Chain A
Amino acid sequence: MIIKCPWCGPRDSSEFVYQGEGGRTRPDQSSTDQSAWNAYVYDRVNTAGDHDEIWQHSGGCRSHLKIIRNTVTHKVLSVVFACDTQDQEKPA
């Protein structure tokens, strides 16, 4: 599998580490909604098909990447920096 890192270019998947599903939303740091926290930590979609994922280019630029990958064909459909896809939240 080859992942096209937006910073480093196309690289072998062995340079990357899977860092979990990408569709999860972490509750706000000060949130006390226990079920939202439980969902963030434990709930997984585990799609057979197009799947949102976070990978880190740990053997390269160390960026975290948001990837859409088909878990059946292993085809990588899109790769963007994970930080570009997050809602901007200001420090309190």
Chain B
Amino acid sequence: MSPRRAASGGLIDRSRTIRFTFDGQEFTGHPGDTVASALLANGVSLFGRSFKYHRPRGILAAGVDEPNALVTVLRGEAREPNIQATMLEIHDGLKVVSQNRFPSLGLDVGALNQLASKLLGAGFYYKTFMGPVIGPLKGTRFWMFCEHLIRRAAGLGKAGLAPDPSRYERMNAFCDVLVVGSGPAGLMAAKAAAENGARVILAEQSARLGGSANWSEDTIDAMPARDWAAGVVADLTTTSNVTMLPRTSVWGYYDGNTIAALERVTDHKTSPRIGEPRQRHWTIRAGKVVLATGAFERPLVFPGNDRPCVMLASAAERFAVEYGILPGEKVAIFTNNDSAYRSAMTMQEAGCRIVAIVDVRTDISPAARAIAVRTGAEILTSRAVTSTEGGKKLHCIKVQDYDIRSGAVSGDARSIDADCLLVSGGWSPVINLASQAGARAEWSERVQAFLPPKDADGWVGAGAFNGTFSLEAALAEGLAAGGASAIDVPAVVDAALDIAPAPVFEIEAKGKAFVDFQHDVTADDVRLAHREGFQSVEHLKRYTTLGMATDQGKTSNVAGLAIMANALGKQIPEVGTTRFRPPFAPVTIGALAAERFGEIRPERLTPMHDWHVAHGATFYSAGLWHRPMIYGLPGETVEQAYVREVKTTREAAGIADVSTLGKIMVQGPDAAYFLDRVYTNTFSTLPVGKARYGLMLREDGLVLDDGTTWRLGRHDFLMTTTTANAGKVMQHLEFLLDVIWPELKVTLTSVTDQWAGASIAGPRSREVLAACVSGTAVDNETLPFMGIVYGEVDGAPVMICRLSFSGELAYEVYSGAGHGTHLWQALIEAGKPFGMVAYGLEALGTMRIEKGHVTGAEIDGRVTARDLHLDWMLSKKKPFVGSMMMDREGLVGPDRLQLVGIMSLDNLPLNGGAHIVEELDRENPHDSIGHMTAACYSPMLGRHIGLALVKAGKSRHGQRVFTSDPLRKRFGPVEIVSHHFYDPEGKRMHG
């Protein structure tokens, strides 16, 4: 007989029919069904094939602990694998397919693996695929060779390649009390907290709130538990300080009571409302967390325990009461504790025949025996199930005598006809979240399970989570956890059974007995691992992969530990347990990312950006900035464009957008004094209206950044930094002022975005300015090198400083950012009669290489001022940041990498990042003496040149060495020269 739907009963809505497909075949179900319950209702008992051996598998559990029934959901082109059929609600049009089978679920070629199962034991990868010691497949090469074949044969569902069309969103929430789990204890806690006025969030992973109240036959407050729960849920739903989150799995518990949860918003809907996301990711910050996460029933480990129609007793109860499903006609029960007797009663009342209750214990409680008698079942104590028979369904079970003291099986096997076997191996509190929060689990002899510690920080437990299996006590704990004592605990009628199990986890007999169903780990695998020397739990776990599947061993951890402890001759607490880690339940990557995919970095654009775009600029991204690379003319290559830009600038004039330079206002009575401390050179002597080039070191004496700083007033300085280091310099200065020298009266303001800047360079740049600047003269007298003047350009107020990066006579013109484009256009107009061009970063870079100016490529965090020949900037008159550390052993001496110029001797281009070597060896490059930091074609020299940091570089000027760049296959002779390639005396910029 197959599983079927009972004529009545269950919390499903039988008035409506839902159609969905499984492996292409259409099935029907009702609102409230999961894929698991709907397929069981249709007589399906085979749900998938197992991971390694491709054994037929059915439903073991009814909820988030289900290890076997994983399906793939198809949504358009997208496919989502490894979804538990027990957690997946059906809706019209839902398409699911089974996994890990070929060509079909019923006929699976991979099942042949069972014949080869000797090869597939623990650690089979390592053993089977170690190649020979010598030869083409030596060592791990054989494994590499086999790997792609194995990867295809093994594994669970396959992820699709199509983009996921779904939308996900993120939510941040705050509450005083977060209750995890909506069973009776959780509901009681939420009610108590809400009545205290707390902001409460109640998260329940299932669609239906109420937890075990939905499938227990208990009575609370003189009504069926499910009615009581429905009443509390209705009250809480209309309470303004309570947020109810059904279909929400709390999967992570992080520092400071930060909780991660995943809400399945529309997975159960055929047509979501407009704007509804598929899933919503919650980050909840809770004052207190109430863990009312219940307990998982454990299976027993015995040969044939993985056959379809072998099910957890509590799962059968849940299917019967919540979904109106009869998992079989003739039901046998195998247990080590009393809770299965309650299951027997429930199943019998639902319409099943209980053929036998097999109990490993010699004595059972009078209460349990009374129930057994009422069900009419044959009671077989001191007995154990030692095998199961059937193919894709169960036909019968074999029962033998069992000695609970020795664990020995004896006597002839008796065959009992049954189409369903319900198993109970005791209960494990779901302490995963507490474990994530850092709690150390404590083994309870009585409950034969790990319990959460009594004292915890941030959370409080209630109900079965605590190992409290009496309903009345669970309600009381819920009340206390919610912070109440005023409300009386409602009156309760329950089965009054003590679930404390006998310490039996495994029946050792001939045949494959599964511990971890999802990863196909057997009891023998655990013992094999022990024999091979894997004695710690952590090693056992990794070697056998026990508990490492998508279910994280929810049904297998304790049995695996017990078998390991037995093999070691130790007690379970001595063996210890592994710590649970997030996620408690699988989380879609889409929900974690939500709207954050694709290019999500902000863009920084200068005020003149649109002009650059309109005038043919192509762009570089420099950090977040977009900067013009070249302003190419039609048909020009990048090199042709920058060569033209450089030549025109050096012969006439050029203009570049320098708005991206970092700009910091340093103000206050101690500003000059502060700058003297942070720069290697002196600023307190700088007159108002002048600028000075400055160099900053880090505390360890290496170079941090360089730039010019302008004294705008006695207490006002405008500091410029390199584009890339603006943030780093700001942070450095803030740290010094805030932490080290809080007594200094200095304020820092980032003004990078407030100023637009244009650099005009070239022999005719002064004429360009003279043509457009009013309110000030710009002659050499009024505006000498490093001088500052104020004026106007076409009505826009400007500040002009005469300074040069290109080595030409040059000026930087600044206006408020709002006037940027206006200023730029006015300067462009003024420059037209003088042949001025706009130039980009390529030209700027080329001109600075020709001048030997350093930038971020050379200031790489490893160089000293002396390495860059900037010794002249190191004041000897005052201490400054880094001054005591810059001359340490190792930072001085002849063998340091020093800045040099490099000239190509084969007339071929050079590459930044290439090595410099004394001896060229293409096959086996060796003995680098340094590396190229920048390279370009120099229009002024007509040569390919570059800058490099070379060991003892200064003493090598004139040496012929080689560039060695194996990655780009560029090798060739070069000459080391001075880094001042062009106009070394600086006549042009002072002209």
Q: Which residues does A use to contact B, with CB under 8 Å?
A: 1-2, 17, 19, 26-27, 29-32, 34, 37-38, 40-42, 54, 56, 58, 62-64, 73-76, 82-83, 86, 88-91
Contacts and interface: CB of A to CB of B under 8 A. Distances in A.
Nearest to B677: A29
Pairs of residues from A and B, 6 with the lowest C-beta to C-beta distance, nearest first? A83-B742, A74-B255, A64-B738, A37-B884, A82-B739, A2-B256
Given A2-B285, A37-B885, A56-B735, 10 more contacts: A1-B256, A17-B731, A19-B735, A56-B731, A62-B734, A74-B255, A75-B255, A82-B739, A86-B740, A91-B670
B734 A56 contact: yes
A75 to B, nearest CB: 8
Interface in B672-720: 673, 677, 699-700
B731 A58 contact: yes
Contacts of A27: 884
A77 B731 CA distance: 25
B174 to A, nearest CB: 10
A70 B728 CA distance: 28
Contact of B699 (A40, A73, A82, A91): A40
Contacts of A32: 884
Contacts of A1: 255-256, 258
8 contacts: A32-B884, A37-B884, A73-B255, A73-B457, A83-B738, A89-B741, A89-B743, A91-B741
Contacts of A74: 255-256
A78 B568 CA distance: 46
Nearest to A92: B673
Contact of B734 (A26, A30, A64): A64
Contacts of B438: 73
A76 B837 CA distance: 57
Interface residues of B, number: 25
A40 B881 CA distance: 12
B63 interface: no
Interface string B727-758: 00001001100111111100000000000000
A1 B283 CA distance: 12
B573 interface: no
B660 to A, nearest CB: 20
Contact of B739 (A58, A73, A86, A91): A86
A64 B735 contact: yes
Contacts of B884: 27, 31-32, 34, 37
B973 interface: no
B677 A83 contact: no
A35 to B, nearest CB: 11
A86 B742 contact: yes
Interface string B251-262: 000011010000
B586 interface: no
Nearest to B673: A91
Contact of B740 (A26, A31, A41, A58): A26
Contacts of A64: 734-735, 738-739
B739 A83 contact: yes
Nearest to B438: A73
Contacts of A63: 738
Contacts of B457: 73, 75
A26 B700 CA distance: 12
B879 interface: yes
Contacts of B739: 19, 54, 64, 82-83, 86
Contacts of A89: 741, 743
A61 B974 CA distance: 52
A41 B739 CA distance: 15
Nearest to A31: B884
A67 to B, nearest CB: 12
Contact of A91 (B700, B740, B743, B879): B743
Nearest to B740: A26
Contacts of A86: 739-740, 742
Interface in B520-536: none
Interface string B265-295: 0000000000000000000010000000000
A25 to B, nearest CB: 10
A41 B699 contact: yes
A74 to B, nearest CB: 4
B255 A29 contact: no
A31 B888 CA distance: 15
A2 B259 CA distance: 13
B14 to A, nearest CB: 48
B594 to A, nearest CB: 15
Nearest to A81: B738
Contacts of A82: 738-739, 742
Interface string B795-813: 0000000000000000000
A48 B256 CA distance: 18
Interface centre among A38, A82, A86, A91 (most CB of B within 10 A): A91
A73 B439 CA distance: 11
Interface centre among B258, B742, B744 (most CB of A within 10 A): B742
Interface in B734-788: 734-735, 738-744
Nearest to B437: A73
B877 to A, nearest CB: 12
Given A56-B731, A91-B673, A30 B879 contact: yes
Contacts of A75: 255-256, 457
B701 to A, nearest CB: 8
A88 B256 CA distance: 34
Interface in B182-205: none
A37 B881 CA distance: 11
B601 to A, nearest CB: 16
Nearest to B674: A91
Contacts of B731: 17, 19, 56, 58
Interface in B846-885: 879, 884-885
Nearest to A27: B884
Nearest to A72: B438
A86 to B, nearest CB: 5
A69 to B, nearest CB: 10
Nearest to B701: A41
Contacts of B256: 1-2, 74-76
Nearest to A54: B739
Contacts of A19: 731, 735, 739
B620 to A, nearest CB: 26
Interface centre among B285, B699, B884 (most CB of A within 10 A): B884
A87 to B, nearest CB: 9
A76 B879 CA distance: 37
Contacts of B738: 56, 63-64, 82-83
A29 B880 CA distance: 7
Interface in B499-533: none
A19 B739 CA distance: 10
A17 to B, nearest CB: 7
A55 to B, nearest CB: 11
Interface in B441-494: 457
Contacts of A30: 879
A42 B699 CA distance: 10
Contact of A41 (B677, B700, B741): B700
Contacts of A83: 738-739, 742
Nearest to A37: B884
A58 B728 CA distance: 11
Contacts of B700: 41-42
Contacts of A29: 677, 879
B950 to A, nearest CB: 28
A2 to B, nearest CB: 5
Contacts of B743: 88-91
Nearest to B742: A83
Contacts of A37: 884-885
A58 B742 CA distance: 18
A46 B628 CA distance: 45
A41 B885 contact: yes
A83 B285 CA distance: 30
B727 to A, nearest CB: 9
A17 B739 CA distance: 14
Nearest to B727: A58
